[in-house]
Structure 1
């Protein structure tokens, strides 16, 4: 079955109160539990915004170079992701919609290339 990446950029989240975010956590966890119950779960998680390490590895010059910060200067960065293993695009759409409703912000969906 194909695997789909369901993800969001942190900038899509918007400004909300701490209480609003606390209310979304149980809703989001419930959707992930449903994904697990169907056997479609591969992985889900949010990324640390400010406290976690962010660095890049680049070997395009012929020598490996590690630098602090994202590779490209951008205002958008990945906030969280879910990977599902489902039979078709329609099922991926359903899970992305459920996650979007639970989180309260948009989700984008991309299919992984088949493994060789």
Structure 2
């Protein structure tokens, strides 16, 4: 089976404050469903209050990031699914729960992962 990344940037989720609890519960329900179906691998939200670090091959740490990922935030999950069509169905469930479109990406096959 193939692993898929389903994600959205934080700015895509425009939910009124009074609806946030309902959206959170709906999103958690989809994740519980994915776990019950045995397709859930990992997921979560990027903590926007903690700045990213760049760690070089020699271990040097700097307070920066790649320019193209400067605004990498939001939520994501990784699901292991039998087909791209199944991944699209799960992405649609998450999009409905989160009230925003989801980006779907397929991981390349790696027998070591």
User: What is the TM-score of this pair, normalised by structure 1?
Assistant: 0.85
Q: Deviations over 1:45-97 (max 9, x none)?
A: 111122x24211234xxx44321143216663231110000000000000000
Question: Which aligned pairs between 1:57-72 and structure 2 lie closer than 5 A?
Answer: 57-59=55-57, 63-72=58-67
Q: Counterpart of 1:32?
A: 31
* CA–CA distance in structure 2, aligned partners of residues 105 and 55 of structure 1: 28
Question: Displaced runs of 4+ in structure 1, greater than 4 A?
Answer: none
Q: Counterpart of 1:96?
A: 91
User: What is the TM-score of this pair, normalised by structure 2?
Assistant: 0.87
Q: Deviations over 1:6-39 (max 9, x none)?
A: 011112123x332211110110010001111111
* CA–CA distance in structure 2, aligned partners of residues 45 and 12 of structure 1: 16
Question: Which aligned pairs between 1:1-116 and structure 2 lie closer than 5 A?
Answer: 1-14=1-14, 16-50=15-49, 52-59=50-57, 63-72=58-67, 76-116=71-111
3-state SS of paired residue (1:96): helix
Contact 2:48/2:73, CA 8 A, preserved across alignment: no
Structure 1 gap segments, 5+ residues each: none
Structure 2 gap segments, 5+ residues each: none
Contact 1:11/1:76, CA 8 A, preserved across alignment: no
3-state SS of paired residue (1:42): strand
Contact 1:9/1:77, CA 8 A, preserved across alignment: yes
* CA–CA distance in structure 2, aligned partners of residues 53 and 34 of structure 1: 32
Q: CA RMSD in A?
A: 1.8
